[in-house]
Amino acid sequence: MAFLQAVIDGLMIGGVYAVISIGLTLVFGVMGIVNFAQAEFLTLGMFVAFFAWKYLGIDPLVGSLISFVLIFGLGVLVQMTIIQRVLNAPPVAQIFVTVGLLIVIENLSLIAFGSDFRSVTTSYQTSALRLGPLFISVPYLAAFCMSLLSGLALWLFTNKTWYGRAMRATAQDPMAAHLMGINADRMRQIAFGLGVGMTAFGGAVILPYFTVHPTVGHQFVVLMFTVVVLGGLGSVAGAVVGGLVVGVIQSVSTLFFPIQLQNLVLFLVFITVLAVRPTGLIGAAR
Amino acid sequence: MSAPILQVDGITKRFGGLLALDNVSFEVAAGDIIGLIGPNGAGKSTLFSTLVGLHKPTSGSVRFAGADITGLKPHKVAARGLTKTFQNVALFMEATVLDNVLIGALLREGVAEARTTAMACLDRVGLAHIAGKTANDLSFPERARVEVARSLATRPKVLLLDEVMAALNHVEMEEIMALIRSLRDDGLTVVAVEHHMHAIMSLCERIVVLNFGRKIADGTPQDIAKDPEVVRAYLGREYA
Amino acid sequence: MKPWIWGAAALIAAVVVPSFLDPAGYPIRVLTLTLLFAALGQAWNIVGGLANQISLGHAAFFGIGAYTSTILLIHFNLSPWIGMLAGAALAALAAYLLSFPTMKLRGHYFALATLAFSEVLRVVASSWTSVTGGPAGLSVPYAADSLALLQFKSTTPYYYIILGALVLICVVFLVIQKSALGYRLRAVKENPDAAEVIGVDTTRVKITAAVISAALTALLGTLYAQFTYFFDPEAVFGIVAISVRAAIIAILGGAGTLAGPLIGAFVIVPLEEFANAALSSRAAGLSQLVFGLMLIAIILVEPRGLLVLVSNGIARLRKGRKG
């Protein structure tokens, strides 16, 4: 029964992992760039939702929309001013530009918000649903549902709208997309904005059960890498399955190992997948 | 005919659903110059890559100098004396011409001796005067020759040449053919992929023809030119 | 001037300089740190520059060096000199094992894998409190000034020991560059398939470089621990504090060149230290912010490094004068 409970917990948190990792995989899929600063946008998303709660009294689950919109805009800006300029640069330049971004965002939030730990209080924070012998924590369930909805919205956007299709066309063949009259630069801005916006959204929905501070992103770095590598870098569907799998692995592994070794277990999964099949076990790459 | 130095036995290579090589077999005798021809996409370069170990064959075996080398890594194959040049030239672009060739020579000797060997190989292909240039600054025909020199520096017994005459003018082509003949006279065995039919016909004692990954003919240039399947698949356009 | 004359002049200057400085003062501390990070950049350069494998995980080896020697000193009273060798051996082993899964990876994937590796070690160091002291970190117990215990009150002895390490790593870099291994690394860097076909054992070449680089990095980890007397997981396993800094120092100066990390360290470390001293009282993180902004600016202006930037600038000036 403990095992089943762990699986359920894992799925709940895994849904969130999926959403925050979709951003990383989306950016890679469209631009071939691994955004090492991705986790920092999660931090920013949490801060936005925190301040929306504190000063406007908005519940983080609703505030997550504000996080998404603001960070989407920020992402578009970052793409226009920085990432765009290294699109055709060697990998070393691409890697260090996003690493630079990581350092800048982390320290900007440190300067702006200080190193305090902050958390919200909500009415549903400690409640849980009871299903026979199993419990489902309400904030976890809420975050999971919000993730599910955002994933669905993203899927509708990429598959059912002109913009979404144009974005995918740009990912597959920028030249052909250009010939079809698609503004590839604009599509990359949207992709980057969506990518970091989704991650920020994911950060906001976990706020009811997670404290925010400027280096909170560190905890998600290995995790996000594992999710996207498991699912295949560039594959959105892969990230969804990868997120759920990682959530379950993490949750179940705590039954057998001390909680501190969670990351070690994840790393072993990560490195094994990279070694055996760098294109991912789940989705086809790109 | 002496004992074969290279025996290719039933090599099949699949990439996913694509059958790139289909049960290809042939033998190469020491001291031969063999031509390998076929339309684009016939599997010539794939065959070379498989022989030197860059690809693992799906089935079949390669024997070299009496030993099975199937599945060996390329550097082990090179150490035994089998290497190739690359179709689109794969030099170390930011290194000098001399360093490119020197790296080949390192297979069998230390840096100091390798430098001497490299100069000798460059001299052999007529490029000693540009030893100090960066590979990036060379013309395409020069690059192809540096690649030949680099392969020679590994002291191969059998050398697989993948379209070294592409983009050469008539005079340069004659020079390369003279070079290949003189290498053979020094004991090297050569298998050459070429599109220039006149060159291959005059250079080779024997020609193997591939089409859609299958061997469709194997014989003297005269036999090949008359073979109806070859004419239909490949030579037709020029010779029919 | 010939390069070796530059080298000799720099070395003489480095040997003489401390006699003009207060042995307990701030300038010699900054200089010592600069030399340490120059050495770290040079160790990274063996993998990142010569083999062009962009590692974002060198903190893993640095941290292994720091923790191994310090734990051996605390629990077994073992001299850090021996601990240093133990750390280097452990780091070499870690690099060897890590090479297998990362062998075929390039560019972003390699950076991802190495970064993840160092992050995991950081987490292990933070949670295995009984051995590593956890997030609170470890203090090197001070007994007395002693060369055998590698501890001194004054900064000057550290300065010379770390200078020695820098010279050692530079010599290793030069020897590799000029040896068969150096030629093979260049071949692997530019075209691994072609390298294999002409007889280069690319797997072995990459592992050799990774193992040497890791062992040297671990030596520096031990020296860092002895020099600072205190460190926590973030200080020695930190992505930005060590891994990124090592890479940036080499890249800023010019990756793959001997002078690159030296130039990079002498630009970055003093700048950071003085920025820290000047700004930190006002806001934590400000100097790091400047570091990050600088990094982005450099990449956008000239990703091949300052050497190229300066030499291009000089060339442009000369052209301008002629024309």
Tell me the DSSP string of C202-269. Answer: HHHHHHHHHHHHHHHHHHHHHHHHHHHSEE-HHHHH-IIIIIIHHHHHHHHH-TTSSHHHHHHHHHHH
Residue A257, chain C, CB below 8 Å: the answer is no
Out of A75-79, A212-216, C316-320, give the one with best mean pLDDT: A75-79
Per-residue pLDDT, A163: 86
Radius of gyration from C-alpha coordinates of chain A: 18
How far from chain centre, in Å, is Cα A184? Answer: 23
Is the pLDDT score of B20 beyond 50?
A: yes
C-beta atoms of A222 and C283 within 8 A: no
Q: Any bridge partners for residue B82, and if so which?
A: B158
How far from chain centre, in Å, is Cα B7? Answer: 15
How far from chain centre, in Å, is Cα A175? Answer: 29
Torsion sign over Cα C152, C158, C164, C168: positive
C-beta atoms of C115 and A221 within 8 A: yes
The backbone torsions φ and ψ at residue C136, rounded to the nearest 5 degrees and listed phi first, read -70, -20
Per-residue pLDDT, A286: 36
Per-residue pLDDT, A285: 39
Residue with tokens 């010539």: B44
Strands B4-15 and B59-64: antiparallel
What's the domain range around C189?
Answer: 20-262
How far is Cα A212 from Cα A53, in angstroms, rounded to an integer?
A: 13
The chain A residue lying nearest C101, using CA atoms, is A275
Per-residue pLDDT, A52: 93
How far is Cα C105 from Cα C192, in angstroms, rounded to an integer?
A: 12
For residue B222, give the 3-state DSSP assignment. helix
Question: C20: Cβ–Cβ under 8 A, 6 or more apart, which residues?
Answer: none
Is the pLDDT score of B240 beyond 50?
A: no
Per-residue pLDDT, A212: 92
Q: Give the model confidence (pLDDT) of A115-167 as tens digits.
A: 888 888 888 877 888 888 888 888 888 888 888 899 888 888 888 888 888 88
Residue B107, chain C, CB below 8 Å: the answer is yes
C276 lies in some domain: no
Q: Give the model confidence (pLDDT) of B131-183 as tens digits.
A: 999 999 998 888 999 999 999 999 999 999 998 888 788 888 899 999 999 99
For B33, the token pair is 């110059």
C9 lies in some domain: no
- Strands of chain C (E only): list them: 138-139, 230-231
CB C236 within 8 A of CB C67: yes
Q: How confident is the model at residue B191 (pLDDT cuts 50, 70, 90)?
A: very high
**Count of domains observed in chain C:** 1
C-beta atoms of A258 and C123 within 8 A: no
Per-residue pLDDT, C282: 60
Chain pair A-C, CB pairs under 8 angstroms: 150
How far is Cα B96 from Cα B91, in angstroms, rounded to an integer?
A: 10
Q: Which of C56, C98, C299, C304 to mutate to test the interface with A (most CBs of A within 10 A)?
A: C299
For B72, the token pair is 């060996």
Per-residue pLDDT, A267: 83
Per-residue pLDDT, C103: 81
Question: From the first residue on, what is the mean pLDDT of each consecutive set of 10 residues in chain C (323 residues)?
Answer: 80 87 86 96 94 92 97 93 97 94 83 90 88 88 85 91 96 95 93 94 94 97 94 91 91 88 91 77 73 85 71 73 55
CB C39 within 8 A of CB C247: no
CB nearest to B106's CB, from C183, C196, C202: C183
Say which range, A70-84, A91-105, A272-286, C158-172, has the weakest mean pLDDT: A272-286
C12 lies in some domain: no
The backbone torsions φ and ψ at residue B168, rounded to the nearest 5 degrees and listed phi first, read -95, 150
Query: What region does A34 belong to: left with phi over 0, alpha with psi -120 to 50, or beta?
Result: beta
C-beta atoms of B83 and C186 within 8 A: no
CA-closest candidate to residue A26, choices A227, A183, A204, A217: A227
CB nearest to B86's CB, from C179, C180, C194: C194
Per-residue pLDDT, C323: 46
Per-residue pLDDT, B224: 87
C205 lies in some domain: yes
Question: B212: Cβ–Cβ under 8 A, 6 or more apart, which residues?
Answer: B22, B41, B42, B43
Angle at Cα C309 formed by Cα C306 and Cα C312, nearest 5°? 145
C285 lies in some domain: no
Per-residue pLDDT, B235: 59
C281 lies in some domain: no
C156 lies in some domain: yes
Residue with tokens 């009294």: A57
How far is Cα C145 from Cα A151, in angstroms, rounded to an integer?
A: 62
Question: What is the DSSP secondary structure assignment for residue B186, as one 8-state letter?
Answer: T
Per-residue pLDDT, C237: 93
CATH number, domain of C36, equals 1.10.3470
Chain A closest-CA separation from residue C178 CA (Å): 24
CB B84 within 8 A of CB B52: yes
Q: Give me the interface pTM, i.e. the ipTM.
A: 0.90
Residue A30, chain C, CB below 8 Å: the answer is no
Per-residue pLDDT, A89: 85
Question: What is the DSSP secondary structure assignment for residue B154, as one 8-state letter?
Answer: T
C211 lies in some domain: yes
For A222, the token pair is 């290995």
Per-residue pLDDT, A282: 60
CA-closest candidate to residue A47, choices A97, A120, A101, A98: A120
How far is Cα A106 from Cα A214, in angstroms, rounded to an integer?
A: 6
Chain C closest-CA separation from residue B90 CA (Å): 6
Q: Any bridge partners for residue B134, and if so which?
A: B96
pTM tops 0.80, yes or no: yes
Q: How confident is the model at residue A284 (pLDDT cuts 50, 70, 90)?
A: very low
Strands B82-84 and C138-139: unpaired
Is the pLDDT score of A59 beyond 80?
A: yes
Residue A77, chain C, CB below 8 Å: the answer is no
Q: Taking CB atoms and an 8 Å cutoff, what residues of chain C touch A33?
A: 108
